[in-house]
């Protein structure tokens, strides 16, 4: 069994809570290097997980000669810089969402990873569920025909997170989310980059659609970060879509994700909150596909395992590639520009 050696850039809340523990649960993985600002905080992370090499400078981590791959879990605005540098060193990449903040950066990273034949995975947990795989298979088999319209809704209890307040979900965690990361609109804080990105990734995995033009309205928290999104989208090939949601559900609410895909042969209904996957066809076929998924559950374990398996050369499916991530970023980049200008934004014009 080949041991995979991983470095982590940005050992903050989610890396400490999820990524490092999941990676260290495998006997064939060793987290050998970690990077984060703050000497005391860095030392605590090293001691907690027994990681020998620690640095506040990501360039020192990337210079470590024994790395096979890197996890980038730094604040949103640094993803492009850190991911691009890691790819430049020939390292496989797991980059936290949002992949980046701008379409141009997303396309550049996708091209860079493809040119170097490196794995690039964004850990969108719902893409790795049986529900997602079954839904995609039905679309690929032509069960709903040519896609004509989609609806994609997400809701979550994240108002405090995007308002610069203590997040109810993390009150018992040793490492807390940095309020600046999540509530500063200048750094990509807000519902779209923090939450809606998940639903969009699931939509694009299931349907394979490509965005073409976007028009959006948004409302904001007291810090100026977006709290609600209402996005109209036109896709390549002519399909239309309504995309959006809100981070203003009551605390401790389970996630809402509702995706509906309408085609020339029928429709597909996918629901995370009340787990269901249903196919309704114009020829009268009605099918409910049995799905083992807890209501509103989100888990980000499987993407880490797939990342390691891909590095080892195993037959694993990357369900959240850089190319898929670029489609997500294109919608969100266009949506923010549209909300600011009050005009529709063509994806091709995103420079």
Residue 11 domain flag: yes
At residue 44, does pLDDT exceed 60?
yes
At residue 176, does pLDDT exceed 90?
no
Range 319-324 average pLDDT: 98
| 156 and 273 co-located in one domain | yes
**Are residues 4 and 28 in contact, defined by beta-carbon separation less than 8 angstroms?**
yes
**Residue 87's pLDDT is what?**
98
Mean pLDDT of the chain: 96
| 285 and 341 co-located in one domain | yes
| 192 and 234 co-located in one domain | yes
Q: What is the pLDDT of residues 264-295, one digit of tens each?
A: 999 999 999 999 999 999 999 999 999 999 99
Task: Please name the residues in contact with 189: beta carbons below 8 A apart, sequence gap of 6 or more.
Answer: 76, 162, 180, 181, 182, 183, 223, 225
At residue 240, does pLDDT exceed 60?
yes
Range 113-141 average pLDDT: 98
**Residue 174's pLDDT is what?**
76
d(CA 333, CA 107): 12
Nearest Cα neighbor of 333 from 80, 125, 98 is 98
The model's confidence at residue 1, banded by pLDDT at 50, 70 and 90, is: low
The model's confidence at residue 6, banded by pLDDT at 50, 70 and 90, is: very high
- The C-alpha angle 272, 276, 279, rounded to 5 degrees, equals 125
Among 109, 124, 139, which residue terminates a domain? 124
Residue 307 domain flag: no
Among 124, 139, 173, which residue terminates a domain? 124
Residue 192 domain flag: yes
CATH number for the domain that contains residue 114: 3.40.50.720
Helix axes 103-116, 322-341, angle to 10 degrees: 170
Give the number of domains in the chain. 2
CATH number for the domain that contains residue 183: 3.30.360.10
The domain in which residue 52 lies consists of: 4-124
Among 124, 144, 164, which residue terminates a domain? 124
Residue 80 domain flag: yes
**Residue 179's pLDDT is what?**
85
**Residue 161's pLDDT is what?**
94
**Residue 152's pLDDT is what?**
98
Residue 308 domain flag: no
Range 176-203 average pLDDT: 95
Of all residues in the chain, the percent with pLDDT exceeding 90 is 93
Range 38-45 average pLDDT: 95
The model's confidence at residue 302, banded by pLDDT at 50, 70 and 90, is: very high
| 131 and 115 co-located in one domain | no
């Amino acid at each position: 069994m080949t041991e995979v050696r991983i470095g982590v850039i940005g050992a903050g809340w989610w890396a400490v809570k999820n990524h490092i523990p999941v990676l260290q649960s495998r006997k064939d993985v060793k987290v050998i290097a970690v990077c984060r600002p703050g000497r005391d905080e860095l030392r605590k992370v090293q001691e907690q997980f027994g990681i020998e090499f620690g640095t506040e400078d990501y360039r020192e981590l990337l210079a470590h000669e024994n790395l096979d791959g890197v996890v980038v879990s730094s604040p949103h605005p640094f993803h492009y810089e850190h991911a691009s540098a890691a790819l430049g060193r020939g390292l496989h990449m797991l980059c936290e969402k949002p992949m980046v903040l701008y379409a141009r950066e997303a396309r550049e990273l996708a091209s860079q990873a493809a040119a170097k034949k490196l794995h690039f995975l964004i850990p969108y947990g719902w893409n790795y569920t049986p529900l997602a795989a079954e839904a995609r298979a039905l679309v690929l088999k032509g069960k709903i025909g040519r896609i004509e319209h989609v609806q994609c809704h997400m809701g979550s209890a994240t108002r405090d997170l995007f308002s610069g307040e203590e997040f109810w979900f993390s009150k018992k965690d040793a490492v807390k989310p940095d309020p600046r990361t999540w509530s500063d609109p200048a750094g990509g804080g807000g519902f779209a980059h923090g939450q809606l990105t998940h639903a969009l990734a699931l939509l694009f995995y299931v349907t394979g659609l490509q965005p073409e033009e976007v028009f959006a309205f948004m409302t904001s928290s007291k810090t100026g970060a977006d709290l609600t999104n209402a996005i109209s989208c036109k896709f390549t090939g002519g399909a239309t879509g309504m995309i959006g949601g809100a981070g203003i559900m009551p605390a401790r609410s389970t996630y809402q994700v509702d995706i509906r895909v309408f085609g020339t042969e029928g429709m597909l209904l996918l629901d995370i909150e009340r787990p269901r996957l249903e196919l309704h066809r114009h020829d009268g076929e009605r099918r409910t596909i049995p799905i083992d998924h807890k209501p509103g559950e989100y888990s980000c374990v499987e993407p880490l395992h797939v990342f390691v398996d891909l590095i080892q050369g195993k037959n694993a499916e990357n369900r959240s590639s850089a190319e898929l991530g670029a489609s997500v970023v294109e919608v969100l980049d266009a949506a923010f520009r549209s909300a600011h200008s009050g005009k529709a934004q063509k994806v091709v014009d995103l420079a």
